[in-house]
Structure 1
Amino acid sequence: MSIVRRIFVEKKPPFNIEAQTLFYDLKNNLNIKGLKNVRVINRYDVSGLSEDVFLKSIKTVFSEPNLDDIYIEDIVFDKNDKVFAVEYLPGQYDQRADSAEQCIQILTNGLKPTVSTAKVIVLSGDITEEEFIKIKNYCINTVDSREASLLKPENLDIEIEYPEEVEILEGFIEFDDVKLKNTYDKLGLAMSLEDFKFCHSYFKDVEKRNPTITEIRVIDTYWSDHCRHTTFLTKINDVKISDGKYNKPILKAYEEYKKSRDFVYGENKKSLCLMDIATIGMKELKKKGLLDDLDESGENNACSIIVDADVNGKKEKWLIMFKNETHNHPTEIEPYGGAATCLGGAIRDPLSGRAYVYQAMRVTGSGDPRTPIEETLKGKLPQRKITVEAAHGYSSYGNQIGLSTGQVTEIYDEGYVAKRMEIGAVIGAVPQKHVYRDKPSCGDVVILLGGKTGRDGCGGATGSSKEHTRESIFTCGAEVQKGNPITERKIQRLFRNPQVIKMIKKCNDFGAGGVSVAIGELSDGLKIDLDAIPKKYEGLDGTELAISESQERMAVLVDPKDADRFIELARTENLEATKVATVTSNRRIKMIWKGKTIVDISRDFLNTNGVTQVTDVLVNRIDDESYFDNIYKRLPGKNIKELWLQNLEDLNVCSQKGLAERFDSTIGSSTVLMPFGGAYQMTPEEGMVAKIPVLEGDTSTSTMMTFGYNPKLSRWSPFHGAVYAIIEAVSKIVAMGGDYKKIRLTLQEYFEKLGKDSRKWGKPFSSLLGALYAQKALNIPAIGGKDSMSGTFMDMNVPPTLVAFAVAVADANKVISSEFKKSGDKIILIKAKRDEYDLPDFDSLKKNFEKINELINKNLVYASSSIKYGGLAECITKMAFGNKIGFKFQEKINAEELFTSDYGSIVIEVDGDFDVSKYLKGIEYKILGETVVDPVIYIDDFEISLNEAMEHWERPLKNIFPSVIKDSRKNLLEIKYDKKILYKPSAKFAKPRVLIPVFPGTNCEYDSKKAFEKAGASVETYVFKNLTADDIKESIDELTIAIKNSQIIMLPGGFSAGDEPDGSGKFIATVFRNPKIKDAVMDFLKNRDGLMLGICNGFQALIKLGLLPYGEIRDINENDPTLTFNTIGRHVSCYVRTKIMSVLSPWFNNVKCGDIHLVAVSHGEGRFIANDDVLNTLKQNGQIATQYVDINGNPTMEMPYNPNGSYWAIEGITSPDGRILGKMGHSERIGKNVAKNIYGNKDQKIFEAGVEYFK
């Protein structure tokens, strides 16, 4: 039996950010008034290590001497302290433990130890037993975690209960209705009782045998609402639309829908159902020949359109794929994992279509997160906890996988207390010539690619299809997975290889249905070998293997001759790939486990999707008091100024910058508009825009994505809510410079559990009719969508929700942003008219859209923004914030005009000399006033300073999602060092070779490679493989050779092994400490005059190796500098100003001391810390290369200018001779049309300087 060793690791003050944050949370939000102090201690139990390796790992893997206090085996607490520990449930993915094992595996040359982790929380103060229980309940979410024992275990072996044979439901085909009902209740199925009876008839009359439990579970998964849209496919018999003023257009839209059915289907009409209303618009426009860009195939992965892309000045056919996905139920009960896998699942859909996903949008719905925790409903998590942890989960997954999140918006409505809304929308692209599709043939092979299967993925599809009950939080643990973004990143890399994707006939992602659906959908006839499926651990039975989902797996169908080559190429990307199934000629899905057939079902039976449900629909009368007549009255206030400031404090108007900055928005070097624009980065943009992801060269072809939805409007009338959701999304595209006629839509429906209540059915029915009405009026179709019909908790329901996502392709050169650009400009409102039923005048609206697009294409519009929920007042204020340019209204304006949600109306900024009568002839407009130098809004007799307005705007969510944190250290003097070392290498190279190693978690290699290639280098990216001991040995040898053949080594950004265990760059540092690699690096530096560059995660690794600041790999001690967690305690993504303070380094040969650049940062651990002796030495040696500076160019400790609280505002440092440079800012994330709404010089020319050094 292997010895278990225990280590406790605690951050030293003042670096114990997690403990400080928890203390504040418990004290202020949980109201534990007697709490005096909180300690958070990471506990590691380790087995399978020699004494020597264990001692090495303590200060390299588990801790950092300059940050942590370490306790071996035991730790003593004060007798009055209250102590508990938290650990993940068995089977849940623990990234910290996994990363620790991977790091140690490098030290052992391949032998993988076992690591178990827990978090020990120590509470000091006057805390009652009742409060102690309250704290534990708050800190432990029993869906994924449990209280851990404080005693050390004797061993870390997982207790495996080897499963018996799969159960056969004996006597099933003889059951009467009573026994069927009892069995149905006992099994807790998602399918209806009618479906279960249908299964009974099938096995009795067709198969003439009793089913296995696996077959029942597989059928239940297949027919779940999540996988088969059961609710949307329910047949609608009778439709009644109540009388009423605002119901008249619904009746008219219904009649128009029936005409569309006649046109599309003729005599061969399909059943009337919600799905038909959702898709008929696309079918009609296609039949009319207005949808020639639609990419259709036998795969159903994502919306896909064909575009002509400009790549290096030439036209290429590309596929643009986009998809929206919800994870409402999982996020409600386990916010971190649910939100993380929402994004993971959304990415997998276009990825399975072979597209590289390059941008994401997050739209969520929440109750008020400021609600006191004691008001939390029984069976619910606190709204604050859900919203904060969900943001952490989604951002963590996206940041690790390397996906730019272009817009993050949370919609607040008390209806979402019933169940949270968590939407991820993504967009991907791939050259059309790289995509090969073909029908399956008998003998074709199915390869399982990516992650292993575990018990934690069981019940994802069926769980998401059930309504939420008070027991869900205690019983649904197995339904929520922790995702592994590092593995999904590897699949993304693999699928960028044309050799790989040209082998794929068909591909399906491992969504909520697991093997049964992912593989089962690839062909009508299949034989699946469940024993071949790679497992996380032993003990899984056949049923679990059949239905367990995985967030980072793909089922890939290939020709048998290509299977081995595909598996070989997967291995080069450090991915596991296994043959698990073959295509058969009969129409049956067959699964073998332990040599026995446990599933053998007819494809035709599965394809019935169960019993067709039937319902009636009743659309209730809409209240005669219109939403638009009342919305501006929602604000308290005696005068325009008070109303204005109150409007800015509305939860659906106020600042969400502290939320959005958690998400990396710049990776990929393709973000055209940053989420917040202007010199102060304070104007929220209309949507997200990014250039398509070309691997070589450049492009001006970009994609836009926006969304629209208003819960209050939708609650008044689901029909109007859907119409204006589309109008809002389309208006935002137009405001950014897009052509509305080229827009393609995808819809997200989210409604209460409908049951058999015809009035409830009337809500999605009228909502979808509204969406169809808008599609037909604008001649733009919804070519995809996703429905979630389980938004019910007890007697509470989510608001009628139809979120419209709009996508358009645009020229990046023509994209404009929302912030006012200069003073003296005219500000004009292009107004959208409403008819007597408060619906848009579409003829007028389309003219407006065309005119705005024309003016933008003529470069006559400087800024543009659509009017949203908070009305014109919201619009003007936010446009003013970005550059702190004021505005003066030219005439009085009433509250109704200022605060009504005037969807479709757009505000534009044009030159002061703009000829209004010439350019705006034929459309309705109003000159509102002009921009002014003073940072003030002048309206009527009132003055509203932008600083005051900003204070009100930031106030509501500043304690939930803070955007700044004060630093007590004073600001600094500049540290200039303008001496150059005229260092020249002994050998010259016309095209120096750059080595970029790709480790698990690396995600900036593409941007870095492109930057060096553009500068004239020859670049090799080397993927470090560590799936097996042989992989590690091979990778160390190959990496050593690559170092010897290179002139430059770059360590790019990312999240090395997920920035775990509890610290960044540890995996990379462990690899580089290997004796072979260490010797090669030191020879590279000392004898071959090589250059090294580390950005972000690479900088962290250089610091942990001692290469910075010492220029050599050495052991780290407690007095050495390091990089640690940002003072704000979260990830920060934005642009910062950095100033060149030293030109000692050859990396800065092309800049001068004092030059200021705008550089993207995106990190959670960028705070440079060092003691005074080290700081003064760095200063004297000229090793402080760059500092963070404020808008006036002065080094500062203040956020947001210093984003992480770095001592002396240090952003980058060099080795003593300058040849090694480390910096947090992503200097590689540059390019034409990148971050157009951030002004200044972004190019530090370090890549050119590095290449020129060798010439």
Structure 2
Amino acid sequence: MESIQTDHKTEIFQIYVEKKPAFAVEADRLRSDLEEALGISGIERLRIINRYFAAGLAETEFAEAAGTVFAEVTVDNYYWSLPDFAGAALVLAVESLPGQFDQRGDSAAQCIQLQTQGERPTIRTAKIFVIYGRLSKAEQTAVRRYLINPVESREASLQVPSHLIEPPVEPQPVAVLTGFRDLDTEGLKHFLLEHGLAMSLDDLQLIQRDFRSAERRDPTMTEIKVLDTYWSDHCRHTTFLTHINRVEFLGSADESTRCDAGEPDFTDRLADAYEDYLKLRHTVYGEAESERPVCLMDIGTIAMKALRQKGRLPDLDQSPEINACSIKVTIDIDGRDVDYLVMFKNETHNHPTEIEPFGGAATCLGGAIRDPLSGRSYVYQAMRVTGAGNPNMPFNETLPGKLPQRVITKVAADGYSSYGNQIGLATGQVREVYHPGYVAKRMEVGAVIAAAPADQVIREEPAPGDVVLLIGGRTGRDGCGGATGSSQAHTDESVMKSGSEVQKGNPPVERQLQRLFRNPIAARMIKRCNDFGAGGVSVAVGELADGLTIDLDKVPVKYQGLTGTELAISESQERMAVVVRRDQARDMIALADKENLEATVIATVTEEPRMIMNFGGRRIVDLSRALIDSNGASQETDVVVQAPSFDIHYFIPQYAGMSFAKRLRSSLALLNACSQKGLASQFDSTIGSGTVLMPYGGMYQDTPEEGMVARIPTPEGETDAVTLMAYGFDPYLSEWSPYHGAYYAVLQSVAKLTAMGGSPTKSRLSFQEYFPAMR
């Protein structure tokens, strides 16, 4: 065994682990990928070796861990020093960027701590790729590009480092933006560009006016960043809340907009549909209509408001907590009627998955889980619907600043399935749709369904003196700027510049959170809850009450040196914010400790409607609730609606004049007609034993189901009550006509539910927006 003695008298041990040739599945698969994707034909052999550097443990403890933690002796070979790579054409070591979560290293450290019953050691890992054969310089460069995503990883040295833990750096104090109130319009424009803010110039001018008249001081950089996050499109749906002043309907240029001969122009149909919406507004809002601006959010929710007004939604569960859709149901458990809440949520993680597919897709599921979890419900089934370009696209046709479609598609599937399989969540349906438009921006949608006994969900208004607990993972720099980053348009430099916006998931911690929230004693202590998603502390805690004093020094950190701004907006995953009475805080911390979770009091609810953050003995945020809740300056726009063309359109048969055999072959050759059973096999659909319909059925288990069905989980007793979920969407139809695309999406999803045995009258719809940058 070799080790390095550092100046700090701390030994760094090393071990290298690789699969025996008969079990080297990952290496064989990567070789096939490189040959197929990059067209490299000279690879004769490929090895993948996992490297571990360890410090903070005795030599005997490290040696004992070799065959129990680092390697499985039946399938692995391991070496105490760097193996001899003589004759290799390329030796490439890849490691995570500093500050990124290293799950392999973290898991190994936890296992060693359990084994030694001592302090947790420090583990750093890397993967070493060794390729034998003939590789040109250009091919070596292509392999490096294929294996290293600069957003989250880098090429590592093969040498043993002198230390594993970086010495702590004293964080810089938060700057006061002296002179901000005096900036003119040009100065504010420069300020926006200089600090890379997502807000508009109007937003910044609103802040300036508030600090001139109400606060009478210059803001801190943290206050600007907090407001930029709070008012981002990701957090506040700025695009959907933009006021629409005028709508103009245009026919399709130089082409027919008539559906059939003798039919009215489709432009008139679109105008009539909009008129129906305006009439519905008058019915729903009455005299208050003038106070409710026309916007996309209102168009999307007006039908629900009308149904609720008519008493057609008696099972809707309304509350100030709106992280997930919630409906009231009564289910039979062992012959007893028990009131339950069923919650469902869908969300996208397009931008993070585009730039870092594994972490982006994994935290898509993690974030979707935490939304119903904040409602104290247990998530038991998930669905994944994604949109991608052709994964068979040649590597050399990858757009500048983009990852190859093959890499995004495969690694995103790895990330989502890894998270779900580790946390223990059944994935009932997996479907990827292909369209050239997704080359510009991937679509990554995760949908989950959850349930909880109604008597376990207590919702009360936070009162002055109540405390806010941060429960779960520690905070790092990962995810800083994620909300604002996903709210901005992206360029060919986005991949290189967005590393800090990527979150890394830690599914075992989220599993522990689910166990804690399923404990009825813990659930009933919670007065209000929010998950740490976009915006971090500033949003997760800031939304819980009007008045809050937050102590950022109390926030548990992954490493030292974080600034006050980073602590305020970091989007590190697997964290929950809960409001409890002060006298119950110790009991909640004890329950969290039983699940191996950290729980820390980080804030107090106050009477004055202001959000205050203290850090390092200074007040770095002191914002009025009125300013925060203004959501920034009102955005206004005019809308032009282009009617679809009916000269060449979706409903014209593509294969007119062909024989049946040719039409069949042409249809089966389409990428969207390919079997996706191989993709679905990565996702465990049986976890929890509640799955009613397997993803593929029929005599040969090759026929995809229309959706997913699962039994509602009950802590005690048995029930036959189930939930059904299906999706509807066709990218080619939506490309031709967004109106028809939305119309048929509803029809298709409800038809699928009905085909699976569900009732169309009991169906509930949840719409997922996906749109380009508004111009």
1:503 aligns with 2:511: no
2:562 matched to which residue of 1? 540
Give the TM-score normalised by structure 2: 0.96
Aligned match of 1:512 in 534, 550, 570?
534
Map 1:433-832; keep pairs closer than 5 Å.
433-625=455-647, 627-630=649-652, 632-634=653-655, 638-755=658-775
> Which whole-Å CA distance do the structure 2 matches of 1:730 and 1:626 have between them?
28
Shift of 1:638: 4.2
1:84 matched to which residue of 2? 92
Report the 3-state secondary structure (helix = DSSP H, G, I; strand = E; otherwise coil) of the residue aligned with 1:58.
helix
Aligned match of 1:172 in 162, 172, 180?
180
Report the 3-state secondary structure (helix = DSSP H, G, I; strand = E; otherwise coil) of the residue aligned with 1:112.
coil
> Which whole-Å CA distance do the structure 2 matches of 1:221 and 1:252 have between them?
38
> Which whole-Å CA distance do the structure 2 matches of 1:381 and 1:739 have between them?
43
Q: Assess if the C-alpha contact under 8 Å between 1:419 and 1:468 holds in 2.
A: no
Report the 3-state secondary structure (helix = DSSP H, G, I; strand = E; otherwise coil) of the residue aligned with 2:478.
helix
Shift of 1:653: 2.3
Runs of 4+ off more than 3 Å:
626-629
Aligned match of 2:43 in 12, 35, 43?
35
Shift of 1:401: 0.7
Q: Assess if the C-alpha contact under 8 Å between 2:650 and 2:732 holds in 1.
A: no
Q: Which runs of 5+ in 1 are unaligned?
A: 756-1255
Q: What residue identity is the alignment partner of 1:507?
A: C
Q: Assess if the C-alpha contact under 8 Å between 2:192 and 2:201 holds in 1.
A: yes
Shift of 1:18: 1.3
> Which whole-Å CA distance do the structure 2 matches of 1:629 and 1:609 have between them?
42
Map 1:856-867; keep pairs closer than 5 Å.
none
Q: Assess if the C-alpha contact under 8 Å between 2:477 and 2:572 holds in 1.
A: no
1:54 aligns with 2:62: yes
1:130 aligns with 2:129: no
Q: What residue identity is the alignment partner of 1:647?
A: S
> Which whole-Å CA distance do the structure 1 matches of 2:158 and 2:730 have between them?
49
User: Which moves more between the two structures, 681-690 or 151-160?
Assistant: 151-160
Q: Answer with 1 or 2: which has the greater Rg.
A: 1
1:280 aligns with 2:302: yes
Report the 3-state secondary structure (helix = DSSP H, G, I; strand = E; otherwise coil) of the residue aligned with 1:261.
helix
Aligned match of 1:163 in 167, 171, 177?
171
1:102 matched to which residue of 2? 110
Deviations along 1:707-762, one digit per CA (max 9) or x if unpaired, are: 1011111111111110000000010011111111111100001000003xxxxxxx
Q: What residue identity is the alignment partner of 1:650?
A: L
Aligned match of 1:207 in 215, 218, 231?
215
2:260 matched to which residue of 1? none
Aligned match of 1:120 in 128, 134, 157?
128
1:45 aligns with 2:45: no
Q: Assess if the C-alpha contact under 8 Å between 1:105 and 1:113 holds in 2.
A: yes
Q: What residue identity is the alignment partner of 1:281?
A: A
1:146 matched to which residue of 2? 154
1:224 aligns with 2:232: yes
2:285 matched to which residue of 1? 265
Deviations along 1:772-820, one digit per CA (max 9) or x if unpaired, are: xxxxxxxxxxxxxxxxxxxxxxxxxxxxxxxxxxxxxxxxxxxxxxxxx
Deviations along 1:1049-1105, one digit per CA (max 9) or x if unpaired, are: xxxxxxxxxxxxxxxxxxxxxxxxxxxxxxxxxxxxxxxxxxxxxxxxxxxxxxxxx
Q: What residue identity is the alignment partner of 1:664?
A: D
> Which whole-Å CA distance do the structure 2 matches of 1:7 and 1:326 have between them?
39
1:376 aligns with 2:402: no
Report the 3-state secondary structure (helix = DSSP H, G, I; strand = E; otherwise coil) of the residue aligned with 1:745.
coil
> Which whole-Å CA distance do the structure 2 matches of 1:79 and 1:682 have between them?
45
> Which whole-Å CA distance do the structure 1 matches of 2:759 and 2:112 have between them?
54
1:4 matched to which residue of 2? 12
> Which whole-Å CA distance do the structure 2 matches of 1:154 and 1:63 have between them?
25
User: Highest relative contact order (Cα 8 Å, sep 6+), 1 or 2?
Assistant: 2
> Which whole-Å CA distance do the structure 1 matches of 2:688 and 2:171 have between them?
46
Identity of aligned residues (%): 57
Q: Assess if the C-alpha contact under 8 Å between 1:236 and 1:271 holds in 2.
A: yes
1:326 matched to which residue of 2? 348
Shift of 1:57: 1.3
Q: Which runs of 5+ in 2 are unaligned?
A: 1-7, 252-256, 258-264
> Which whole-Å CA distance do the structure 1 matches of 2:331 and 2:183 have between them?
61
Report the 3-state secondary structure (helix = DSSP H, G, I; strand = E; otherwise coil) of the residue aligned with 1:284.
helix
1:197 aligns with 2:205: yes
Distance verdict in 2 for CA 1:228–1:649, change over 3 Å: same
Q: Assess if the C-alpha contact under 8 Å between 2:52 and 2:123 holds in 1.
A: yes
Q: Assess if the C-alpha contact under 8 Å between 1:506 and 1:556 holds in 2.
A: yes
> Which whole-Å CA distance do the structure 2 matches of 1:628 and 1:239 have between them?
25
> Which whole-Å CA distance do the structure 2 matches of 1:470 and 1:67 have between them?
43
> Which whole-Å CA distance do the structure 1 matches of 2:636 and 2:284 have between them?
23
Aligned CA RMSD, in angstroms, stands at: 1.2
> Which whole-Å CA distance do the structure 2 matches of 1:569 and 1:157 have between them?
32
1:1176 matched to which residue of 2? none
Shift of 1:11: 1.2
Q: Assess if the C-alpha contact under 8 Å between 1:444 and 1:558 holds in 2.
A: yes
Q: Assess if the C-alpha contact under 8 Å between 2:249 and 2:271 holds in 1.
A: yes
Q: Assess if the C-alpha contact under 8 Å between 1:366 and 1:387 holds in 2.
A: yes
1:68 aligns with 2:68: no
1:408 aligns with 2:430: yes
> Which whole-Å CA distance do the structure 2 matches of 1:629 and 1:696 have between them?
51
Shift of 1:247: 2.2
1:834 matched to which residue of 2? none
> Which whole-Å CA distance do the structure 2 matches of 1:541 and 1:289 have between them?
51
Report the 3-state secondary structure (helix = DSSP H, G, I; strand = E; otherwise coil) of the residue aligned with 1:612.
coil
Q: Assess if the C-alpha contact under 8 Å between 1:5 and 1:73 holds in 2.
A: no
Q: What residue identity is the alignment partner of 1:229?
A: H
Q: What residue identity is the alignment partner of 2:231?
A: W
Q: What residue identity is the alignment partner of 1:387?
A: T
> Which whole-Å CA distance do the structure 1 matches of 2:571 and 2:395 have between them?
33
> Which whole-Å CA distance do the structure 2 matches of 1:482 and 1:577 have between them?
20
Shift of 1:628: 4.7
Q: What residue identity is the alignment partner of 1:158?
A: E
> Which whole-Å CA distance do the structure 2 matches of 1:664 and 1:593 have between them?
44
> Which whole-Å CA distance do the structure 2 matches of 1:511 and 1:259 have between them?
37
> Which whole-Å CA distance do the structure 2 matches of 1:599 and 1:6 have between them?
45
Give the TM-score normalised by structure 1: 0.59
1:363 matched to which residue of 2? 385
Q: What residue identity is the alignment partner of 2:746?
A: I
2:333 matched to which residue of 1? 311
Q: Assess if the C-alpha contact under 8 Å between 1:246 and 1:624 holds in 2.
A: no
1:184 matched to which residue of 2? 192
